[in-house]
């Protein structure tokens, strides 16, 4: 429908849009969108061959202006330009290096070659969906396409915040379905076998911590002895000479408790090329570059703010750590001046942090020694979370122990074991189908609880050592002397 002409002799109010036909034969529209950063007027221009098309474009700009969804002035960026700027200047300084590896792979290997030529404001959900389908046709896994989808979604969300676009097409595009691998936590029997084998393994306490406390790999390898606080108590009865002559930690029946503060993590980062573009080293991977940098084993912060936490230590874990400390002292004495005394809890033969690859190989060897099915090291974290579920630990406490920032993580990590399913089924059975009185077991006859005269005499000797008040209560339950002449006497012992 054509626009209605303004009455002759009147002028449009300030800020009103204008539509006119130019000398070039095209229809033009100009829409006031606001004020630029420098104070000048921001008027957007659109053009089309027909008046109707220009009216539609003008109305769209007016709707964007009125709803506050106004794209920045100037020519829109291409997807390639924005993704390159985002990954190198926005994401790189703020995310972990391991996350950047996935971001850069998705941006440079898949997204830019696939949709990089589009203008960012003209990218459609269908463009992304076609890219995901092509990636899978080329033999890539659905998980790879899904990672590309998550990357472009994060990048375009940032572009939307900065008003380069008004809507994010990646929020509408449907990524390929990824079938998550079913995680089966270790059973109690498997966990006991692993703990038993770990006691005979170098750095075995590291896997005890993983299985019982659920620490991430980097968190466990990043522990220092200064992060550990242990309190010892006597385990022997009060009044024993041990309490007067020995410290609590020297007691043969000592009981230890403590806390572990998670402050840092050990990560393996990818090496980067150090050679210049005009004089490349010729190697494909940065690890082979003679001037490589920013790679290898590095110390980083924990994964999130929630990851910085304090975890309580049960007594068996405290004992495992103390045994590990004693072994480490012996290794330090053997290494002498070659030992790097940096206070790491788990080290190689020279006191340096354990390489993640070495840690992975040690885990696989431990499973084989324990005769336990092959599983990921991260499955130990699932097992620890499941144990907390079985113990009915409140969710806020579980989140603190596991270092979760969101309660939704419980759904991923906490699994209902078979034993718990069976126990719940039995409870449902007892509630809905209670046992009838006829089916209940009859109480045992009194003569099955009868005691012989000699047994009664021995009990009297034991009762004589009790305090007077308890002695009177037990003697009231014993038969009289004349009742004990027979072969047996009925004695009612409280349960």
Q: For residue range 331-369, what is the model confidence (pLDDT) as tens digits? A: 999 999 999 999 999 999 999 999 999 999 999 999 999
Nearest CA to 272 among 288, 294, 253? 294
Give the class (CATH, top level) of 188-237+244-275+284-412: mainly alpha
* Mean pLDDT value of segment 258-275: 89
For the cut 70, the answer to whether the pLDDT of residue 495 exceeds it is no
Query: At 157, is the pLDDT very low, low, confident or very high (cuts 50, 70, 90)?
Result: very high
Catalytic position from the list 43, 160, 308, 378 = 378
Catalytic position from the list 57, 164, 234, 381 = 381
Q: What is the pLDDT of residue 492?
A: 42
Q: What is the pLDDT of residue 143?
A: 93
Domain 79-171: give its CATH code.
1.10.150.130
Crossing angle of the two packed helices 142-161 and 125-137, in degrees rounded to 10: 160
pLDDT in tens, 26-84: 999 888 776 665 667 777 788 888 888 988 888 887 877 777 666 665 577 899 999 99
Catalytic position from the list 27, 82, 132, 413 = 413
Identify whether 272 is a catalytic site residue.
Answer: yes
Q: What is the mean pLDDT of the chain?
A: 83
Q: What is the pLDDT of residue 163?
A: 81
Identify whether 413 is a catalytic site residue.
Answer: yes
E strands present in 124-241: 228-233
Query: At 487, is the pLDDT very low, low, confident or very high (cuts 50, 70, 90)?
Result: very low
pLDDT in tens, 118-156: 999 889 999 999 999 999 999 999 999 999 999 999 999
Catalytic position from the list 44, 216, 234, 324 = 216
Q: What is the pLDDT of residue 10?
A: 53
How far is C-alpha 71 from the geometric centre of its chain's CA atoms? 37
| Rounded CA separation 61/68 (Å) | 11
What's the maximum distance between 2 C-alpha atoms anywhere in the chain? 133
For the cut 90, the answer to whether the pLDDT of residue 112 exceeds it is yes
Catalytic position from the list 109, 272, 315, 415 = 272
User: 76 near 120, Cβ under 8 Å?
Assistant: yes
| Rounded CA separation 274/158 (Å) | 30
Q: What is the pLDDT of residue 488?
A: 41
Identify whether 26 is a catalytic site residue.
Answer: no
Query: At 315, is the pLDDT very low, low, confident or very high (cuts 50, 70, 90)?
Result: very high
pLDDT in tens, 383-435: 998 888 877 788 888 888 888 888 888 888 887 776 667 776 777 777 777 76
| Rounded CA separation 490/177 (Å) | 72
* Mean pLDDT value of segment 212-224: 94
User: 61 near 44, Cβ under 8 Å?
Assistant: yes
For the cut 70, the answer to whether the pLDDT of residue 486 exceeds it is no
Q: What is the pLDDT of residue 3?
A: 54
Identify whether 381 is a catalytic site residue.
Answer: yes
Q: What is the pLDDT of residue 413?
A: 85
| Rounded CA separation 195/366 (Å) | 9
Query: At 481, is the pLDDT very low, low, confident or very high (cuts 50, 70, 90)?
Result: low
For the cut 60, the answer to whether the pLDDT of residue 485 exceeds it is no
| Rounded CA separation 408/420 (Å) | 21
- Per-residue CA distances from 164 to 30, 85, 89, 156, 157 (Å): 20, 13, 16, 9, 10
219: its two tokens: 């968190």
172 vs 239, which has greater pLDDT?
A: 172
User: 375 near 186, Cβ under 8 Å?
Assistant: yes
Q: What is the pLDDT of residue 104?
A: 93
309 vs 69, which has greater pLDDT?
A: 309
Query: At 4, is the pLDDT very low, low, confident or very high (cuts 50, 70, 90)?
Result: low
User: 80 near 284, Cβ under 8 Å?
Assistant: no
Please give the model's pTM, rounded to 2 decimal places. Answer: 0.67
């Amino acid at each position: 429908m054509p626009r209605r002409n303004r009455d002759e002799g009147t002028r449009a109010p300030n800020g009103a849009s204008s539509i006119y036909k130019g000398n070039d034969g095209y229809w033009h529209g100009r829409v006031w969108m606001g004020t630029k950063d420098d104070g000048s007027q921001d008027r957007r221009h659109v053009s089309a061959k027909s008046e109707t098309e220009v009216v539609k474009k003008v109305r769209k700009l007016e709707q964007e202006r009125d709803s506050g969804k106004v794209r920045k002035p100037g020519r829109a960026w291409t997807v390639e330009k924005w993704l390159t700027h985002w990954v190198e200047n926005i994401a790189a300084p703020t995310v972990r290096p391991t996350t950047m590896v996935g971001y850069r792979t998705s941006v440079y290997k898949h997204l830019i070659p696939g949709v990089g030529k589009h203008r960012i404001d003209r990218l459609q959900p269908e463009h992304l969906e076609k890219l995901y389908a092509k990636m899978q046709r080329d033999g890539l896994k659905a998980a790879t396409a899904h990672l590309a989808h998550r990357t472009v979604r994060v990048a375009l969300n940032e572009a939307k915040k900065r008003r380069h676009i008004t809507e994010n097409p990646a929020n509408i595009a449907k990524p390929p379905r990824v079938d998550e691998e079913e995680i089966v936590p270790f059973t109690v029997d498997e966990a006991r076998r692993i703990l038993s084998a770990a006691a005979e393994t170098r750095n075995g306490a590291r896997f005890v911590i993983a299985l019982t406390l659920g620490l991430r790999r980097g968190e466990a390898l990043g522990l220092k002895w200064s992060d550990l606080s242990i309190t010892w108590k006597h385990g022997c009865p009060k009044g024993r000479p041990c309490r007067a002559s020995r410290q609590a930690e020297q007691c043969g029946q000592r009981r230890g408790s403590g806390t572990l503060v998670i402050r840092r993590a050990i990560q393996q980062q990818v090496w980067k090329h150090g050679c210049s573009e005009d004089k490349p080293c010729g190697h494909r991977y940065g690890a082979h570059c003679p001037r490589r940098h920013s790679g290898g084993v590095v110390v980083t912060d924990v994964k999130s703010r929630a990851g910085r936490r304090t975890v309580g230590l049960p007594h068996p874990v405290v004992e495992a750590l103390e045994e590990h400390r004693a072994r480490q002292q012996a290794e330090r004495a053997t290494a002498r001046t070659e030992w790097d005394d940096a206070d790491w809890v788990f080290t190689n033969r020279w006191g340096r942090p354990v390489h993640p690859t070495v840690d992975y190989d040690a885990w696989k060897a431990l499973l084989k020694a324990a005769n336990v099915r092959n599983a990921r090291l991260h499955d130990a974290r699932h097992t620890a979370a499941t144990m907390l579920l079985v113990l009915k630990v409140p969710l806020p406490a579980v989140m603190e122990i596991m270092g979760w920032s969101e309660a939704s993580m419980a759904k991923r990590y906490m699994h209902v074991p078979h034993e718990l399913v069976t126990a719940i089924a039995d409870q449902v059975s007892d509630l809905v189908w209670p046992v009838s009185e006829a089916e209940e077991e009859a109480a045992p006859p009194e003569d099955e609880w009868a005691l012989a005269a000699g047994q009664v005499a021995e009990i009297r000797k034991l009762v004589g050592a009790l305090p007077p008040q308890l002695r009177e209560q037990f003697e009231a339950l014993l038969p009289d002397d004349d009742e004990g002449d027979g072969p047996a006497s009925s004695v009612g012992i409280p349960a």
